[in-house]
Amino acid sequence: MTRTATSTLLPAPTLPQANRHGINALAAAHLQVDIAPYPGMEEGDLIELFWNHCFADSRRITACKVGTATRLRVPESFIQDGAARVHYQVLHVGHGPARSAIAQVGVKTCYPGGLPSALSGDENQNLAPVGLPDTIRRHGVNSSQVRRGVPLTIEPYLNMAIGDAITLRWGDARLDLPPIQAESVGLPMQVWVPSVVIVEAGDDARLDVTYCILDRVGNNSRWAPVRTLKIAACVPQAPTRLARAASTYQPRQPGSPCEPG
């Protein structure tokens, strides 16, 4: 969040629910704006809050509130995705309105994968289950694949955006993937699940594999529908047979120094 300030303006308002990337859907539902005490604050002052230059809320200062911060609310209907500009003005008896500097903040209320249904619990059925090779889907992961690792695919999803952070859940193990880059938006993600993750989760006749997405402002997709797999135990690879030990004495080639005869 950035603030535009000059020496003639009151301090910009602050948005306590905003993170460094902006406002998410949860914050937008009950968005609060804080206004710090200002010089000459008196009983009877009227503070008016503006969101994108539209009046949003106001508060009359009472005697017990002089010298304390004022908290105002922005109606949820005012909040749209994109950049927002927030300021306030103070109407002081006997003076013209004193205006504040502008606080600029980004808003992103769209969930990765779309809005989860309230009836689906922790699952977002808008997301596709992880994609796996047909042989693994049919027969599970064998011990050789446990040692090597397993490929899987995460399909593009609604509202895919730069900075999305995906966490893969393989049984009880977790794998955090690198944040989405601009060139990856709208494309399937190819993921290699390393052996260490598979071994950590252990062998299982019915192991659940899923993922969730957290975007840059903190909107959480919830979990994708699970893919259930059979995972074999990790059998240690048999050691290679050692070559037969060489004899103690190996004669030199003919003509070598000190070779008898």
Question: Could you tell me the fold of the domain covering 118-231?
Answer: Immunoglobulin-like (2.60.40)
Asked if the domains 2-107 and 118-231 are classified in one and the same CATH topology, the answer is yes
Question: Could you tell me the fold of the domain covering 2-107?
Answer: Immunoglobulin-like (2.60.40)
CB 102 within 8 A of CB 3: yes
Supply the pLDDT for residue 95: 82
Using CA atoms, how far apart are residues 189 and 184, in angstroms rounded to an integer?
8
Instruction: Please determine, for residue 245, whether its predicted confidence score (pLDDT) is greater than 60.
Output: no
Please give the mean pLDDT across all residues of the chain.
89
> What's the pTM?
0.79
| Residues with Cβ within 8 Å of residue 1, at least 6 apart in sequence | 14, 15, 18, 20, 22, 103, 104, 105
HSE, side-chain direction, 13 A CA sphere, residue 100: 27
Residue 136 φ then ψ, to 5°: -70, -40
pLDDT band at 258 (very low <50, low <70, confident <90, very high): very low
Domain boundary assignment for the chain: 2-107, 118-231
Average pLDDT over residues 142-155: 95
Q: What are the start-end ranges of the E strands in the chain?
A: 2-4, 31-35, 46-51, 54-60, 70-74, 82-91, 98-99, 102-107, 150-154, 165-170, 173-176, 189-193, 204-214, 227-231
pLDDT band at 123 (very low <50, low <70, confident <90, very high): very high
